[in-house]
Structure 1
Amino acid sequence: MKGTRVEGLRDLDRALGELPRQTGKRVAVKVLKNAGGPLAEAGATNAPLGPTGNLKASYGVGTKLTRRQSKLNRKQSPVEVYVGPNDPAAIQTEFGNEHQEAEPHLRPAWDAGKEKALDDIKTGLWDEIQKAAKRLARKAAKGR
């Protein structure tokens, strides 16, 4: 799978850095979850129903991984949000194996929705950073 390069986020990163750390994290998580929602919905729509229907039902957006996934994942950012299924069969279904042909569901969702998701992240971060800064300013004015 090809990587996606995102440019022009330096100003957003600087603005997030000006917020208190926990506020910045909350803002980032909120925006990333909102942007990931449509990708998760599209992936679930693309997923084959299968005999149990677990794959479709397991799609979601969140900040937590299973214990096994956590061991395999190297954290790359202070804030990480994950989009996709939480079903062990998902990888086999997505990529296939010697007994099962690939039935991609998340890759097509990403390919179709990545531009909108990235745009939602950029615009959403600006909006949420401005709202958070205004809240902090109001709070500081009250505390004087």
Structure 2
Amino acid sequence: MSNNSVRFSVSGLADLEKSLSNLSKGVGKSVLRRSLDKAAKPMADLARDLAPVDDGELRDSIKIGRKLNKKEQNGQRRLAPEQRDAVELFVGPSYLLGAGGRHGHLVEFGTAPHDNKGQFAGTRHPGTAPQPFMRPAYDAEAGPTIDRLKPILWSEVEKAAKRAARKAAKAAAAARQGD
């Protein structure tokens, strides 16, 4: 995650946590990821609406993601075992080469006047004014995202439990036929 990331901690969901613990570790993480994706979608949509549009690449690069880069993967390995089960989510411009969002932080925070280098060496860039789009989206949607999360999580847990029950019943039926 970037230095400008924000972490959420949701507490007071003991029943939900108990239901999640009844699922396998992989299924539980998958349920959390799907739920977070759904809950954060309005925040990403608002950020896209607020992003300045020049050629549209910055706006189109705003994604909901969870892919860790090498540095983040190494950090994840150093976490205590109980922290490794955490699910993190990124909402913002994709910094992948070709995604169009590599300059998102420069747009969000602006740039100071500076001397140009390379082909424009010897000239001075006047700087750019900040055009925030992520922070206003976060400010408007952080609370509602958390509010949306609980019912979405319950729905996803129930679906996963039903799938697991169907799978177990199918396996039991297959075992009986094999006897």
In which range does the TM-score fall when normalised by the shorter chain?
0.7 to 0.9
Q: Pick from 107, 110, 122 the counterpart of residue 96 of structure 1.
A: 110
Q: Which has the higher helix share?
A: 1
Aligned residue number for residue 53 of structure 2: 49
Question: What aligned pairs does 1:1-144 form with structure 2 within 5 A after superposition?
Answer: 6-50=10-54, 52-65=55-68, 67=69, 70-71=70-71, 74-75=75-76, 78-86=86-94, 87-98=101-112, 99-144=127-172
The higher-RCO structure (CA 8 Å, 6+ apart) is 1
Instruction: Supply the AA of the counterpart residue of 1:26.
Output: S
Percentage of identical aligned residues: 39
1:36-73 superposed Cα distances (whole Å, 9 cap, x missing partner): 211111101101113x32111101112224x4xx5268
Count matched residues.
140
Structure 1, unaligned runs of 5 or more: none
- Deviation for aligned residue 1:4: 5.8
Greater Rg, structure 1 or structure 2?
A: 2
TM-score by length of 2: 0.68
- Residues 130 and 109 of structure 1: CA distance in aligned 2, closer, same or farther (over 3 Å): same
Deviations 1:115-144 (A, max 9, x none): 221122111111111221122123223322
Give the direction of change, closer, same or farther, for the CA distance of 1:97–1:129 in structure 2 (3 Å limit): same
Distance of aligned partners of 1:84 and 1:124 in 2 relative to their CA distance in 1, 3 Å threshold: same
